[in-house]
Amino acid sequence: MKHRDLRVRVLYGNTLTTAIILKELPEDTEEIFLIRATSKLGKAIAPYLCRHKVLG
């Protein structure tokens, strides 16, 4: 990162979609059935959900 003091996050395409999906999940979600997690989105979402004990 060249300009860390700018406080700007640049999100695009799959990154933004992933962020929106994760933000929209209810906090009390205990289980998710995730299929076809081989895309860029799936590869981003699945590990996050596993780390946060939502997908197991």
What pLDDT is recorded for position 19?
A: 76
Would you say the pTM of this structure is higher than 0.75? Answer: no
pLDDT digits (tens, 9 = 90+) for 1-56: 566 676 665 556 666 777 777 788 787 877 777 777 777 777 877 888 778 766 55
- What's the pLDDT at 22? 77
| Cβ proximity of 34 and 45 under 8 Å | yes
Residue 10 is predicted with a pLDDT of 59
